[in-house]
Amino acid sequence: MRLGAVFFAWGLGLALLLVASVGWAGPKHVYLTFDDGPREGTRKILELLTREEVPATFFLVGDHLINDERREIFQKLKESPRVQLANHSLTHAHERYQTFYANPEGMLKDFLQNNTVLGFTQPPYFTRLPGRIDWRFGERYIDTRSYPNPSTTPVPTGIAKLHQQGFVIYGWDVEWSRPGRKVPLESVETVLTRICKRLESGQLVKPGHLVLLMHDFHFNTPEAIDALQTLIWRLKADDREFGLMRDY
């Protein structure tokens, strides 16, 4: 055997040994998603994403386009090459989720009307349901109880109707939450720890791909925007790759 072939075989064996011992790291993708906009904070989030050259998906509520300022922000989102717009319902169920989901025809009408408001004319319509976690894409239906595996229960009628009309429904893997209105956002370290644990454990709907849920109105202060910037910096330092939900 030639010397070059010996070194190649030795290197390949070492690489396989390392993979076996520590696992294959591979690229880990993070999808930044923001719900309930346009709201207080949307403009600041967009300015930060532009500075950091990071993509994000905004799940928008049509009824929140209530004035010229909000419509201006909406236009800026539409024009940004780093932003994907998605459907989060017209009314956010008026916060009456049980009533909303008990009426499949009304639910479908609500999302179709929001398509019109947002200017969506061709499927797929990327969507997130208000007030609940459901995934319906391809042939998979995943709910809170079955996450991260496909559900064995029948797909709810309203969700089935949406899917038949070309809606692709995405939930999330980790939420950066604020437990109460008078309580600040969780710390960057807290949410970053959850992100890294999920990515490394593979306990995700799509292993290696993590969807992070945030809400626009949580980032309406300089302190909150600083925290978001820190999170982005830390994810970049960990060589995480950012993506849009249409590429999930």
39-85 pLDDT, tens digit each: 999 999 999 999 999 999 999 999 999 999 999 999 999 999 999 99
C-alpha torsion angle, residues 121, 125, 129, 134 (rounded to 10) = 160
CA angle, 234 then 131 then 186, to 5°? 30
Tell me which residue of 176, 169, 137, 133 sits closest to 32, measured CA to CA. Answer: 176
What DSSP letter does each residue of 179-247 carry, written as one string?
Answer: SSTTSPPPPHHHHHHHHHHHHHHT-SSBTTEEEEEEEGGGG-SHHHHHHHHHHHHHHHHTTPEE--GGG
Tokens 């939900």 locate to 245
What domains lie within the chain, and their CATH numbers? 25-247 (3.20.20.370)
Q: What is the pLDDT along the chain (248 residues), one digit of tens a residue?
A: 444 443 334 443 433 333 333 334 567 999 999 999 999 999 999 999 999 999 999 999 999 999 999 999 999 999 999 999 999 999 999 999 999 999 999 999 999 999 999 999 999 999 999 999 999 999 999 999 999 999 999 999 999 999 999 999 999 999 999 877 777 899 999 999 999 999 999 999 999 999 999 999 999 999 999 999 999 999 999 999 999 999 99
Closest CA to 92 of 63, 133, 69: 63
Identify the pLDDT of residue 23: 36
Among residues 230, 242, 231, 219, the alpha carbon closest in space to that of 45 is found at 219
Q: How far is CA 145 from CA 37, 48, 141, 152, 227, in A?
A: 27, 35, 11, 10, 31
Contact 124, 104 (CB under 8 A): no
